Amino acid sequence: MLLYIICFLISCEQPENRKKIPVEQFVVGELDSVYSTVLDESRKFWISVPPGLKGSVADTKYPVLFLLDGNHHFLLVAGITTQLSRTISPNMIIVGINNVNRWRDFTPSHVESNEQSGGGNKFLDFIESDLIPYINKKYPAASNKTFVGHSLGGLIVINSLITRPNLFNNYIAIDPSLWWDDLKFLNMADSVFANNQFKGKSLYVGIANTMKEGMDINDVQNDTAESTNHIRSILQFVKSTEEQKDNGLEFDSKYYKNDGHNSITVIAYYDALRFLFSWYALSGMDKFYDPDSNTTVEELLAHVNTHFTNVSNRMGYKVIPPDAYMEILARRFTNKDMHEKALACLKKYIADYPKSDRAYEAMAKHYLLRNDSIKELQFYNKVLELGDNNFRYDRAKEKVDVLNQNS
């Protein structure tokens, strides 16, 4: 079953004069399921897989983001990760786990006031023993994993970090319900963070404004009303986590004054991913774009290669520049008449993607601007050799015909 956004092309004519409207389907993800031997039930989840690094020399594997409340938040997170993957964060597989019983699955301990509660650790068993192996076997999953939850989902995310720190690399807890069971897991986190190492782990906590009107972030910490227990427990967790500076955990949090418990997810997911992958984007390029800096082509390539080597080390698998990334850099150099650096970027693009028609077309366009019709023809012919029956093939064929006529 596919999840679609249906886009209608709307005519401005009167209804009776309208022609049949074409419909285009934009596929976001598909529904899959796995039978859980731990839970003794079938669990459905939405999954979004990137289209692949077409023609690249790298293994097409992606980090996996496991998202709780998938039936509510899947579209949002899939959209954010797709947009950020242009430069800010890697392409990711999104696994949006649909709910069956949130009180059962997201609460790590049982409380007498809620008969359904206390199945959280069994739910983590399901993720560890059933879901992750299924994803690893069926989809191009890399070892890097992120766990994301909101509200009670945020509670089970933090419980996972303190009880199973090796299960995921990154954790996102948005407005987590740390008030649960008389602050049991808040107090547990204090002890665990103080006495264990979390090097290589990252945690982001988003805090919604759930205070009474007229109260501010300083006032609420001295409040004792039950209505503020939720935000007070999160603020206490943030404070104690920030004090544990020697345990290796990469931690950040943010208070969202203008967002409540439900609206916070839109902006907080975005901020969380930017924090978790703050090291992913290529930086330090200004000196190479400066024509007066006297930087060399060799220094440029060393800078790019070193960056993606460091990214690969962080991710645990080989990462190369995203498709068309080097083409974008080349365009910027071309616009500044820095043609040697532009050519070096395009050569790297082809080296990383030797079977990509887009890479060879980009090189042909470069030689068009350089008025080198011989090499332009050479690279358009390479597009044709790849034989992809698409618009680039058609465009290259037209160019080759014209160039041959003019030769």
What pLDDT, in 10s, does the model give residues 371-392? 999 999 999 999 999 877 788 8
In 3D, which of 94, 145, 90 has the Cα closest to residue 323?
A: 90
Give a three-class secondary structure readout of 240-304: HHHHCCCCCCEEEEEEECCCCCCCHHHHHHHHHHHHHCCCCCCCCCHHHHCCCCCCCHHHHHHHH
SS3 202: strand
Distances (CA, A) of 2 to 25, 47, 233, 357: 10, 10, 40, 29
Same domain, 152 and 293: no
| CATH (domain of 371) | 1.25.40.10
Q: Is residue 18 part of a domain?
A: yes
Residue 164 domain flag: yes
Return d(Cα 2, Cα 332) in angstroms, integer. 39
Q: Is 309 found in the same domain as 263? A: no
pTM exceeds 0.75 for this model: yes
Q: Are residues 191 and 335 in the same domain?
A: no
Residue 370's alpha-carbon distances to 15, 305, 329, 347, 399, in angstroms, are 52, 26, 17, 15, 16
Residues 126 and 234 in one domain: yes
Would you say residue 281 lies in a domain?
A: no
Looking at the fold, whether 318 and 362 belong to one and the same domain comes out as yes
* 250 & 300 share domain: no
Based on the fold, state whether residues 219 and 326 are members of the same structural domain.
no
247 and 111 assigned to the same domain: yes
Indicate whether 91 and 150 sit together in one domain: yes
Among the listed residues 162, 135, 334, the one whose alpha carbon sits nearest the alpha carbon of residue 237: 162
Task: Give pLDDT, residue 202.
Answer: 97
How far apart are alpha carbons 398 and 309 in whole angstroms? 39
CATH value at residue 97 = 3.40.50.1820
Whether 202 is covered by a domain: the verdict is: yes
Assess if residue 204 is contained within a domain: yes
Count of residues in the chain:
407
pLDDT computed for residue 245 by the predictor: 84
- Give the count of domains, the chain: 2
Q: Which two tokens stand for residue 375?
A: 């090499």
Q: Are residues 179 and 109 in the same domain?
A: yes
Residue 59, pLDDT score: 61
- Please say which residue of 276, 310, 337 terminates a domain: 276
Q: Which domain-ending residue is among 215, 248, 276?
A: 276
Note the pLDDT tens digit of each residue in 303-313: 999 999 999 99
Which among 242, 276, 310 is the end of a domain?
276
Whether residues 247 and 380 fall in one domain: no
Range of the domain at 357: 286-406
Q: Which residues of the chain have pLDDT under 50?
A: 4-18
**Within this chain, do residues 259 and 159 fall inside the same structural domain, yes or no?**
yes
Question: What pLDDT, on the 0 to 100 scale, is given for residue 2?
Answer: 52
Q: Would you say residue 149 lies in a domain?
A: yes
pLDDT given at position 96: 98
Residue 2 burial class via C-beta count within 10 angstroms: exposed 0-12, middle 13-18, buried 19 and up: exposed
13 three-state secondary structure: coil
